Structure 1
Amino acid sequence: RRVAIVLDDRIVSAPAVQAGVTCGAGIAGGSTQITGGFSAEEARDLAALVEGGALPLPVTTLEQSTVGPTLGADAIRASALAAVIGLACTGVFVIVVYRLLGLLATVALLLYGLLSYAAVVALGATLTLPGLAGFVLAVGIAVDANVLVFERAREEYAALGRTTAVRDPRRPLATAFAKAWSAVADSNVTTLLAAGLLFAFATGPVKGFGVTLALGVLASMVTAMVITRLLADAALALPAVRRRPALTGMAGLGRLRTRLARRAPRLMVHRRRWYTVSTVLLLVALAGIGVRGVQLGVEFTGGRDVQYAATRPVDADAARAAVAAAGFPDAVVQATGDGGRDVTVRVAETDDSAQRRITEALTKTAGPVTVERDDLVGPSLGGELRTHALLALGLAVAAQLAYLSVRFRWTYAAAAVVAMAQDVLLVVGLFAWLGKPVDSVFLAALLTVVGYSVNDSVVVLDRLREIRRTGTRLPLADLADRAVAQTLPRTVNTGMGALFVLAALAVLGGDTLTDFSVALLAGVVLGMASTVFTALPLTVTLESRAPKPPARPAKPRTSDPTGAVV
């Protein structure tokens, strides 16, 4: 008997069966051979054809992304220029505020960029926009760690006295690194937990966000806590620096801290007022989600997202009418870009014929158009991406809550997570009111907002815990106000460093980065505000209703049979 091997309706080989084949074994069982007068090359070709597949399985396109060379080059150029300008402004700001220490931190920040880029190259990873979001968050973490240490150094310098500090300026800096380590470690561990869960459970661009975020956090830890310290120790040992302590950046507390020391804010007295403001903002955000709805991008719903470039400005209503007349009444059509010359069309259909009909309709209305970007995602893949992204986000939040509950009390952890959830809802509500799509880029920005919010809350709550451990008998509300006053300069300086980078991306990044930058700008501002007006007031309220039980006195240990206390 003969057995025919057919591939693509063509007989590849039809050998005769010389011996019986064990049932269930077949070729895969290794008990069958095809023999004949083959040359070595013919045998290799036949083996390749046989291994090429014997079942006529259909191939379905799950995801396809096409970026025109002009758009890709413009995006790369704009991203690079915005990153350089933003980092340069951040470096100048840090140097102006912290002088010599700021200069050394800027050098360490440049080394962070080299380490992060080297890690991406070593892994062979492709840097996408969500990956860029991970680096932006890591830059903020690196700046935050340095600012936190430098503000602590100013406190220790003032506590030691000018004479002692000038004699050995490395002493207050070493103490600052030791005291700041707890807050830096907690904020970085929570971020690494989120990055690990995103890499394990997410797919596509969100997984890339987790990779670059983890690499950036590890690089920022090395540069902020090791390289900056080594450079500072070497610089502060120079006699010229000791003779001019003002150059170090530690000799003064700073204008904001001095002003807060003279008149500390009384924010916790008005907790109900902050609760009311937060509730109103949340209702506005939820109204936007309910009334306008959240426009999920094609990554999460499936469909086609095509960006066209026209030769003249395009009226959005005319383009929308033309696309609807072509048979796509539910299409989302937006005119963006330089003078409205770019048109973005999102439809549920994914076949090429639909794309050609839309192109013809726009050509009749706007003249000749060229495809700048064409993203296609099948509905099955879109549902999978949406499910995995939500699962990863939920697990990241749960892991952060669990870790913070171990490091702090559950009241602190709950307050930090509530503030973070508030920031997320406000950013989603803002995008709902603006009618902007919620896609993988937005999700990466949202995860960055989560990181900023948690980091900021951890720093302030860590300072509150430290103040309470001193044994002061002041009311908790007053201690919370004191924690705000002591950490507000760090919050403002860290936020300014992040805002420089984001503002440069928003202005110079073009349409590709605008939505991403808007989400992050809103998230950073909301994250700084929610720490002061949501996390701390809620911590005070929860602690007053569920105070920590007093510690039990330790039983005396005895080692003498007579009962003498050792």
Structure 2
Amino acid sequence: ADTKLADGRRVLDLGPSRLSGAGVEDATAGFEAQGGAGWSVSLEFRKDAGQEWKKLTGEAACHPAGDDRRRVAIVLDQKVISSPQVDPSVGCGAGLPSGATQITGSFSADEARDLALLIKGGALPVPVEIVEQRTVGPTLGAAAIDASAQAALIGAAATALFITIVYRLFGALAAVALGAYGVISYAALVALGVTLTLPGLAGFVLAIGMAVDANVLVFERAREECADRPKRSLRSALTTGFQKAWSAVADSNATTLIAAGLLFFLGSGPVKGFGVTLAIGVIASMFSALVIARALTEIAANSRFVSDYRNVNGIARPGAVRTWLTRKDPQIFRKPVRWLVVSAALVAVAVAGIVVRGVDLGVEFTGGRLVEYSTSRPVDVETARDTLAAAGFGDAEVTTAGDGDLSVRTGKLDNDGEHALRAALAEEGGETTKVRDELIGPSLGDELRRNALIALGVAVAVQLAYLAVRFRWTFAVSSVAAMVHDVILVVGAFAWLGRPVDGIFLAALLTVIGYSVNDSVVVFDRVRELWGANRRTPLDTIARRAVLQTVPRTVNTGMGALFILAALAVLGGDSLADFALALLIGIVVGTWSSVFTAVPGALLLERNAKTPPPVPGKRKGKGSTRGRAGASRRDPLDNGARV
């Protein structure tokens, strides 16, 4: 039967013979100069499809030349893209061989290539569905970029000033190394073609904290060496500080790199982006702290002026925090259970918030559409809700955004619905401009949520195994328990505050996890060192000494991170406020848990583990002593290591 197309062309129904595009192996455009055929398209078919093609063209060849029934129609998306006739040389029923089929005609080069691409495209009968769409207006984008840049610069400058005040000349040199970290990280981003997003910014904030932490660890260990042996040279104390801080720096960065790799390979969306930038940042931070900062400080330590004037170098005298702790010597672990009771109470309050208030999952995890509008006249939230409900959008959630804008979140909403929603707001607010539009399909939301949970679960399991090998299983379990404690508290705080748990929050939560594990590793590394050197001393006494010795490092590292986060919270605007808030809460609870959750938990596990405590090596044989005299003895805190 005749079929008229919308553009006026006419083709004929060729009957029951059909061949799916899935049978096409390849279609290529080529030029033949010798035969004068010009540009043509060569077709290759799969094995079974080749027989169908031969049958189809054989049936068409049974009609006389010039008859429309001798044509073969190529249809894509219910439109005929080409209808060539079977060559008159092909006999009835013979058909065209699958390996020697060409479509010829008065094709230009572009037409032949386009036809080949369309034929190959027909082999992919997959419906296209929008699963994610993000639109950011230029005003919002420019404002967010400027605010982030200003916050990063001011925060980094405040951090550099702080460590300079605390550690004087050596702190200033560490600040120079921190600047080198920024240059190296940016160069790596440019070389890899990485796009910096908010999760990427989170990864760099964590890496900056780790870079500062590595220098603080070294300087505090050097201060301890100078306090224990006042007459030793500054260069010797600094070298010993680098040597003794190496294990803590290596373990904390190794656990972070493991997590970053797993988040990249197992996560998706913002989780994957966080893993990429975190890995780049950690590698760059280690290089800047352990290579650049070490080279600069060792050069300075060789100067007689720096060595002689203790107020100049910054490490020859103990800091104020260490002096106060030495004088007070608080007995903090006489009853470790009471600290666990306090942590359990905090977790109970957080869980209550999650149950009572609920978690406001963002559009990234639930699917739906989030649109932000700017109106010429101010419109309060209640008025906007009533207006949208009257317009048929009763399920829309309306909140305020930065600079008086309105943020509207709905479930399924097509473009026509979005136009109607904007028109309804324009009745109250006058000229209404869309400055942000995010569309996440439910399948993508499920994928993000599922992949994020899988990546986090595997990262926790791998970190648990790593810490169990490097330390003791009791320390590993306590570290992971403290990390879970921090996650619950941060989520509970956002539930009580009514803040959204979205991609921004996820980036911050991943950063909090990194800080939590890093803090616990530093504390347990000191416990391992002290317990190995004082095997007869009770573990609770060792733990108290380790915590008091690492508190100056914890305070100084936390202050350095707080400067950056405070700048992000004040200058970053609404887009970074939740991110900075989550990190501020996370650093506070992470510092608490690494001391008052992880350490008491390890003490209780050690008491109930029924494993023998470390004891000095016994005399074995005449004239030989295991341990100090040269024979090796096994360190129970470093499974398999030898001291």
On whether the aligned pair clears a TM of 0.5, the verdict is yes
Match of 2:637 in 1: none
Q: Does 1:446 align with 2:509?
A: yes
Q: Does 1:286 align with 2:351?
A: yes
Question: In structure 2, do the counterparts of structure 1 residues 309 and 148 end up closer, same or farther at CA, with 3 Å as the change threshold?
Answer: same
2: CA distance between counterparts of 1:251 and 1:39? 81
Match of 2:82 in 1: 12
Structure with larger RCO (C-alpha < 8 A, sep 6+): 1
2: CA distance between counterparts of 1:45 and 1:377? 32
Question: In structure 2, do the counterparts of structure 1 residues 293 and 15 end up closer, same or farther at CA, with 3 Å as the change threshold?
Answer: farther
Describe the superposition over 1:396-455 as per-residue Cα deviations: whole angstroms up to 9, x where unpaired. 111111111111111000111101000000100111111111111111100000000000
Q: Which moved more, 1:448-457 or 1:472-481?
A: 472-481
1: CA distance between counterparts of 2:618 and 2:191? 53
Match of 2:299 in 1: 234
- Aligned partner of 1:71: which letter? L
Q: Which moved more, 1:468-477 or 1:214-223?
A: 468-477
One of 265, 272, 276 as aligned partner of 1:200: 265
Give the alignment's TM-score, normalised by structure 2.
0.82
Question: In structure 2, do the counterparts of structure 1 residues 500 and 39 end up closer, same or farther at CA, with 3 Å as the change threshold?
Answer: closer
Contact 1:63-1:376 within 8 A present in 2 as well: yes
Describe the superposition over 1:262-306 as per-residue Cα deviations: whole angstroms up to 9, x where unpaired. 221211123232222212211111111111111111111110011
Matches within 5 A, 1:113-192: 113-161=182-230, 163-165=231-233, 169-192=234-257
Cα deviation for residue 239 of structure 1 reads 2.6
Q: Does 1:313 align with 2:383?
A: no
One of 102, 127, 130 as aligned partner of 2:171: 102
Cα deviation for residue 39 of structure 1 reads 5.4
Question: In structure 2, do the counterparts of structure 1 residues 56 and 254 end up closer, same or farther at CA, with 3 Å as the change threshold?
Answer: closer
User: Alignment partner of 1:154: what SS?
Assistant: helix
1: CA distance between counterparts of 2:157 and 2:287? 21
One of 283, 287, 310 as aligned partner of 1:245: 310
Q: Does 1:464 align with 2:527?
A: yes
1: CA distance between counterparts of 2:614 and 2:219? 34
1: CA distance between counterparts of 2:577 and 2:278? 21
One of 543, 548, 563 as aligned partner of 1:485: 548
- Aligned partner of 2:498: which letter? G
1: CA distance between counterparts of 2:129 and 2:619? 71
- Aligned partner of 1:201: which letter? L
- Aligned partner of 2:375: which letter? A
Cα deviation for residue 320 of structure 1 reads 1.7
Give the alignment's TM-score, normalised by structure 1.
0.92
2: CA distance between counterparts of 1:42 and 1:337? 50
- Aligned partner of 2:388: which letter? V
- Aligned partner of 1:311: which letter? S
1: CA distance between counterparts of 2:170 and 2:187? 26
User: Alignment partner of 1:6: what SS?
Assistant: strand
- Aligned partner of 1:110: which letter? G
2: CA distance between counterparts of 1:120 and 1:345? 34
1: CA distance between counterparts of 2:173 and 2:288? 10
Q: Does 1:3 align with 2:89?
A: no
Cα deviation for residue 51 of structure 1 reads 3.0
1: CA distance between counterparts of 2:352 and 2:613? 44
1: CA distance between counterparts of 2:378 and 2:333? 53
1: CA distance between counterparts of 2:400 and 2:317? 52
1: CA distance between counterparts of 2:600 and 2:81? 77
One of 559, 568, 585 as aligned partner of 1:505: 568
Structure 1 regions of 5+ residues with no counterpart?
Answer: 558-565
Contact 1:350-1:377 within 8 A present in 2 as well: no
Cα deviation for residue 368 of structure 1 reads 2.3
Q: Does 1:334 align with 2:403?
A: no
1: CA distance between counterparts of 2:604 and 2:332? 13
Match of 2:612 in 1: 549
Contact 2:310-2:317 within 8 A present in 1 as well: no
Match of 1:264 in 2: 329
Contact 1:423-1:523 within 8 A present in 2 as well: yes
Q: Does 1:429 align with 2:492?
A: yes
Contact 2:185-2:281 within 8 A present in 1 as well: yes
Q: How many residues align?
A: 547
- Aligned partner of 1:68: which letter? G
Question: In structure 2, do the counterparts of structure 1 residues 156 and 350 end up closer, same or farther at CA, with 3 Å as the change threshold?
Answer: same
Contact 2:159-2:560 within 8 A present in 1 as well: yes
Cα deviation for residue 556 of structure 1 reads 7.6
Matches within 5 A, 1:289-308: 289-308=354-373
Q: Does 1:495 align with 2:565?
A: no
Q: Does 1:60 align with 2:132?
A: no
User: Alignment partner of 2:335: what SS?
Assistant: helix
Match of 1:519 in 2: 582
Contact 2:84-2:103 within 8 A present in 1 as well: no
Cα deviation for residue 109 of structure 1 reads 0.2
One of 350, 373, 377 as aligned partner of 2:413: 350
Cα deviation for residue 57 of structure 1 reads 4.3
Question: In structure 2, do the counterparts of structure 1 residues 21 and 269 end up closer, same or farther at CA, with 3 Å as the change threshold?
Answer: farther
2: CA distance between counterparts of 1:201 and 1:379? 19
2: CA distance between counterparts of 1:149 and 1:441? 33
User: Alignment partner of 1:33: what SS?
Assistant: strand
User: Alignment partner of 2:433: what SS?
Assistant: strand
2: CA distance between counterparts of 1:194 and 1:530? 20
Match of 1:406 in 2: 469
Match of 2:38 in 1: none
Contact 1:6-1:54 within 8 A present in 2 as well: no
User: Alignment partner of 1:14: what SS?
Assistant: coil
Cα deviation for residue 344 of structure 1 reads 0.8
Q: Which moved more, 1:73-82 or 1:55-64?
A: 55-64
* Higher share in helix: 1
Match of 1:374 in 2: 437
1: CA distance between counterparts of 2:286 and 2:502? 30
> In terms of Rg, which structure is larger?
2
2: CA distance between counterparts of 1:238 and 1:13? 86
Cα deviation for residue 74 of structure 1 reads 0.2
User: Alignment partner of 2:371: what SS?
Assistant: strand
Question: In structure 2, do the counterparts of structure 1 residues 330 and 555 end up closer, same or farther at CA, with 3 Å as the change threshold?
Answer: farther
2: CA distance between counterparts of 1:103 and 1:50? 65
Contact 2:479-2:517 within 8 A present in 1 as well: yes
Superposed CA RMSD in Å reads 2.1
Question: In structure 2, do the counterparts of structure 1 residues 441 and 15 end up closer, same or farther at CA, with 3 Å as the change threshold?
Answer: farther
Describe the superposition over 1:486-543 as per-residue Cα deviations: whole angstroms up to 9, x where unpaired. 0000000000000000000001101100010000000011100111110111111111
User: Alignment partner of 1:122: what SS?
Assistant: helix
Contact 2:535-2:614 within 8 A present in 1 as well: no
1: CA distance between counterparts of 2:96 and 2:529? 76
2: CA distance between counterparts of 1:21 and 1:478? 90
Q: Does 1:323 align with 2:404?
A: no
Contact 1:314-1:335 within 8 A present in 2 as well: no
1: CA distance between counterparts of 2:331 and 2:620? 43
1: CA distance between counterparts of 2:258 and 2:558? 23
2: CA distance between counterparts of 1:12 and 1:555? 94
Match of 2:290 in 1: 225
Cα deviation for residue 48 of structure 1 reads 3.2
2: CA distance between counterparts of 1:55 and 1:247? 71
Cα deviation for residue 56 of structure 1 reads 5.9
